[in-house]
Structure 1
Amino acid sequence: MRKSRETEVYIINIQIGCILRLARLSQKLSQHTLAGKLEYNSTMIGRIERFESISGWDKILTLSEYLNINYCELFVLKNRATLLTIVDNSFKLEEKLTQEKIDYYSFLKKTINNKFDLLEKERLQGK
């Protein structure tokens, strides 16, 4: 796989988590409540949202259906500004904003920017 493809897949993994988190927060659902409604483990939902692991497509499909998200759109790479806006909107919707969450959102934005910088560099190099 070309290096730029690996970076795109990584960014899409981040994107899926961000979109699912925004939808969940917009519907005022906790990870625990959503997990209970779908008979999933809240830890698994957290891992998807934090892009710590790539979950099975079936779980992402079920989450997207429940949260009224177009499943196919999750896999279309958004641009940097759109993805950062999704993160900012999620941050604004957080009800219990702990220092840990503030640090996480800061880390997430830095990671997105770093990965997009890397992707641009790889594309310029033709990888």
Structure 2
Amino acid sequence: MSNDEVNASCRRKSSKTSKVTDKAKEKSIPTSTGSLPSSSLCHNRSKRIPRTKFVGRRISHQREDQTKSKKWYFGTVTGTLSGNDGAPTTEYEVLYDGEQDPWCVKGLLQDYRSSSLKFIDV
């Protein structure tokens, strides 16, 4: 292929590229978000709801004592014994005020949702 043929081939390719660019200009994307529907703004975001974290938090926890009466206890969630923090089946280690040894507690998330547990470090 001669130099003239190569140059002509490059010109043809560049003209095709400019046509694509011209079409892109015709379909310009709006610059303000006011004209876009709200659903299109969040299409790339994760739909996962963040978990409520318990480890390291001060809590007020309503529990039944030995006489089956409900009482509020204050304490600190010190760690997890099984499961991930914030998962419904997680087993937590809670050190209640006035106690020397921590308690193994299941169902903190369910208690939180039923208002039997409140965060007091907020």
Higher helix share: 1
Give the number of the structure whose alpha-carbon radius of gyration is greater.
2
Taking structure 2 as the reference length, what is the TM-score of the superposition?
0.20
Q: Which has the higher contact order (CA 8 A, sep 6+)?
A: 1
